[in-house]
Amino acid sequence: SSGKVHFLNNVFSFFDIKGPTFKKEKMIPNGYLIFEDESFLDSTVAKMNALRKSGQFCDVRLQVCGHELMAHRAVLACCSPYLFEIFNSDLEPHGVSHVKFEDLDPEAVEILLNYAYTAQLKADKEMVKEVYSAAKRLKMERVKQICGEFLLSKMDSQNAISYRNFASSMGDTRLLAKIDCYIQEHLLEVSEQENFLKLPRLKLEVMLEDHVSLPGNGKLYSKVISWVQRSLWENGEPLESLMEEVQTLYYSADHKLLDGGLLEGQAEVFGAEDDHIQFVQKKPPRENVHRQLSSSSSGSLSPGSVRQPCKHDWKYIASEKITNSTYLCLAVLNGVLCVIFLHGRSSPQASPSATPCLQKSLSFEASPQEEEPERLLAPMHYARSGLGTAALNGQLIAAGGYNREECLRTVECYDPKTDSWRFIAPMRTPRARFQMAVLMGQLYVMGGSNGHSDELSCGETYNPNMDEWAQVPELRTNRCNAGVCSLNNKLYVVGGSDPCGQKGLKNCDAFDPVTKEWTSCAPLNIRRHQAAVCELDGFMYVIGGAESWNCLNSAERYNPENNTWTLIAPMNVARRGAGVGIYAGKLFVVGGFDGSHALRCVEVYDPARNEWRMLGSMTSARSNAGVAVLDDFVFAVGGFDGNEFLNTMEAYNPGRDEWSTGAEASTLA
């Protein structure tokens, strides 16, 4: 057999003999022998698998839907936590274990057995779902992940719905999130497929008062979903009953979604938990609802008394405008994947709020002559992507970035009380692809690109009292796309691109503003550039990014007390160029780029649970945007949507889980 033997001695020589290759090296005086048999592992693995297939020395019988598969207890226990638990609790550990599976595919289990013995996963594409199901049952998480990634690589508009149904049945939130992102980007193509046309359908007609416009799609459908939730709970009817006929709703001037039955005076009004949603009940409510009615003349339920009606998933996935008066939406209602059609129609002669009669027909998007458009949040003076943002003294600072022409020096300041932008002193150096942090009441920017050289080592700090920028000591290495945050009165610069811009860095450096010195910290576990970086509760978090150009969903946390990095739960969606903000002790990660598309999706991390969950998506896709938190809103500004550089902004209301571009919804006055 071939191999390598090392005799380590005071002699240094090489010689070849027939058979194993011997190598003598000058090492320690007494010497020792190291033999590396390169063929041993492959040979042993092949022999063990052959023994399994012939039934020799096997001590496990897997009975799968009438098929019997033999294996070795020790091998399976190492690969399957599920089987390890069974074998570990076996009362007769020296006998032959019998494990029965009536709901798994025998061929899929055989594929997993081959993987357990050879570390090679080989399955026809038609078998991947079955292999995933078997791996889920056996708790083989790595195999589940590989199968999920394979399905994503094969996903297209024809199979997206079936893949989503499968991921839902498996309870795989990470896979679901990625499929939902795909559906958001390709809803019209997906809607043309046969399996989409067979989904349950909820048909709604919406009437509008004069001078009233519907909100953005995501905001509108969150109202519709809440209306359905309350309708099912108040009436006690199954979801199918709502789909038997067209439901008529009314969108009032005070942004409430009402049941159309109110138009004939047939209903009472009950307030909802959300100030912007009101459900109007056609039928007498349940007895327990009567007990909860307040004594006020409005008959509204007290906000704290309304029970949560949902036991399953309720989720808006994506929507598209089909015609001038028709919208299409894909949503999960009470755990059921459904299609919602919304159609605009003429308002009746009397509205529930006793407003003047309407003399004209309104569609979803009336022309400028027919109604006043919603006033949008004020845009920046410049479109910016790869900008630095931070909240300082109750205002949002947006600095630098690039558009199609150049890297920018200009800095703008947004006042949410007046919904207006103004310029402050420009930076000394044009720069983009950098991050900004607040340290001891001053802004700090480090590194980035000026559009001429790949990376910058210089940094600067802004004094808001003097309205001027000053240089700070340079970084030890030129860096672009690095993360920056303040922690324990120091400025940290993490990761970034190497001088060639081809791969991420593990470097982490800290700057002391008192001594004006840089010191090195423990390196990251994973190379990253374009990662989102922030501080929370005395820890620094580095989220996503890219190792080279492969986007990451992993995240890690730095503890300055012991100078160590620890991996935390991965995000649902791999992304680079995302923004991050802190609100109510949680991390909000916004937008970014997944390797093929700019993203609208948003997710939040709860450090107490070490869990990520998806939130309402933005109205626009944004990669390399700026994110900052002001009071009770998360603001996203600028970025690139895949086609254009943006100067727009939008605000997220955590209480309503919705994004808005409207000034009245997010102005803090």
Q: Write out pLDDT tens, residues 127-164.
A: 999 999 999 999 999 999 999 999 999 999 999 999 99
Mean pLDDT lowest among 164-178, 309-323, 375-389, 605-619:
309-323
**At 107, is the secondary structure helix, strand, or coil?**
helix
Domains observed in the chain = 4-36 (no CATH), 45-151 (3.30.710.10), 199-290+308-345 (no CATH), 388-666 (2.120.10.80)
Q: What is the pLDDT of residue 155?
A: 93
Confidence band for 121, pLDDT divided at 50, 70 and 90:
very high
With a cut of 90, say whether residue 525 has pLDDT above it.
yes
- Tell me the pTM: 0.54
Contacting residues for 33 by C-beta, under 8 A, at least 6 apart: 5, 6, 7, 8
Confidence band for 341, pLDDT divided at 50, 70 and 90:
confident
pLDDT, average across residues 117-135: 93
Q: What is the pLDDT of residue 18?
A: 41
**At 99, is the secondary structure helix, strand, or coil?**
strand
Q: Which residue has the higher pLDDT, 243 or 307?
A: 243
Contact present, 524 and 494 (Cβ < 8 Å): yes
| Host H or E run for residue 490 | strand 490-494
pLDDT, average across residues 75-93: 81
Q: Which residue has the higher pLDDT, 582 or 290?
A: 582
DSSP tag of 304: G
With a cut of 80, say whether residue 344 has pLDDT above it.
no
In DSSP terms, which residues pair with 414 in a beta bridge? 396, 421
Mean pLDDT lowest among 136-140, 189-193, 348-352:
348-352
What is the rounded distance in angstroms from the CA atom of residue 498 to the CA atom of residue 503?
6
Q: What is the pLDDT of residue 223?
A: 80
- Would you tell me the crossing angle of helices 160-170 and 141-153 to the nearest 10 degrees? 170
pLDDT, average across residues 354-358: 30
Mean pLDDT lowest among 46-55, 120-129, 281-290:
281-290
Q: Which residue has the higher pLDDT, 312 or 551?
A: 551
pLDDT, average across residues 164-188: 90
Burial of 103 by CB count in 10 Å (0-12 exposed, 13-18 middle, 19+ buried)?
exposed
Contact present, 344 and 206 (Cβ < 8 Å): yes
Contact present, 388 and 434 (Cβ < 8 Å): yes
What is the rounded distance in angstroms from the CA atom of residue 280 to the CA atom of residue 289?
13
With a cut of 70, say whether residue 533 has pLDDT above it.
yes
With a cut of 80, say whether residue 5 has pLDDT above it.
no
pLDDT, average across residues 554-558: 97
pLDDT digits (tens, 9 = 90+) for 401-459: 998 768 999 999 999 999 999 999 999 999 999 999 999 999 999 999 887 766 788 99
pLDDT, average across residues 167-190: 89
Mean pLDDT of the chain: 80
**What percent of the chain lies above the pLDDT cut of 90?**
48
Count the neighbouring beta carbons within 10 Å of the beta carbon of residue 29. 7
Q: Which residue has the higher pLDDT, 445 or 303?
A: 445
pLDDT digits (tens, 9 = 90+) for 621-665: 999 999 999 988 999 999 999 888 999 999 999 988 899 988 765
Q: Which residue has the higher pLDDT, 651 or 26?
A: 651
Confidence band for 539, pLDDT divided at 50, 70 and 90:
very high
| Host H or E run for residue 22 | strand 21-26
pLDDT digits (tens, 9 = 90+) for 457-510: 899 999 999 999 999 999 888 889 999 999 999 999 999 987 665 678 999 999
Q: What is the pLDDT of residue 579?
A: 97
With a cut of 70, say whether residue 218 has pLDDT above it.
no
Helix, strand and coil percent figures for the chain, each rounded to 5: 20, 35, 45
DSSP 510-549: EEETTTTEEEE-PPPSS-BBS-EEEEETTEEEEE--BSSS
pLDDT, average across residues 305-325: 64
pLDDT, average across residues 615-624: 93
Number of H helices, E strands in the chain: 14, 39
Confidence band for 173, pLDDT divided at 50, 70 and 90:
confident
Q: What is the pLDDT of residue 536?
A: 96
With a cut of 80, say whether residue 560 has pLDDT above it.
yes
What are phi and psi for residue 225, nearest 5 degrees? -65, -40
Contact present, 191 and 328 (Cβ < 8 Å): yes
| Host H or E run for residue 270 | strand 268-271
Q: What is the pLDDT of residue 389?
A: 97
**What percent of the chain lies above the pLDDT cut of 70?**
76
Q: What is the pLDDT of residue 97?
A: 79
With a cut of 90, say whether residue 387 has pLDDT above it.
yes
What is the rounded distance in angstroms from the CA atom of residue 624 to the CA atom of residue 38?
47
With a cut of 60, say whether residue 304 has pLDDT above it.
no
Burial of 176 by CB count in 10 Å (0-12 exposed, 13-18 middle, 19+ buried)?
buried
Q: Which residues of 618-646 are buried (b: 16+ CB within 10 A; e: fewer)?
A: bbbbbbbbbbbbbeebbbbbbbbbeeebb
pLDDT, average across residues 288-299: 31
Mean pLDDT lowest among 152-161, 279-288, 533-542:
279-288
| Host H or E run for residue 626 | strand 626-630
What is the rounded distance in angstroms from the CA atom of residue 342 to the CA atom of residue 338?
13
Q: What is the pLDDT of residue 204?
A: 84
Q: Pairing mode, if any, of strands 564-568 and 555-559?
A: antiparallel
Contact present, 481 and 503 (Cβ < 8 Å): no
pLDDT, average across residues 596-603: 92
pLDDT, average across residues 385-401: 96
Q: Which residue has the higher pLDDT, 48 or 557?
A: 557
pLDDT, average across residues 394-399: 96
List the beta strands (DSSP E) in 300-348: 315-323, 326-333, 336-345
pLDDT, average across residues 338-352: 64
Q: What is the pLDDT of residue 257?
A: 72
With a cut of 50, say whether residue 284 has pLDDT above it.
no
Q: What is the pLDDT of residue 312?
A: 61
What is the rounded distance in angstroms from the CA atom of residue 281 to the CA atom of residue 299?
12
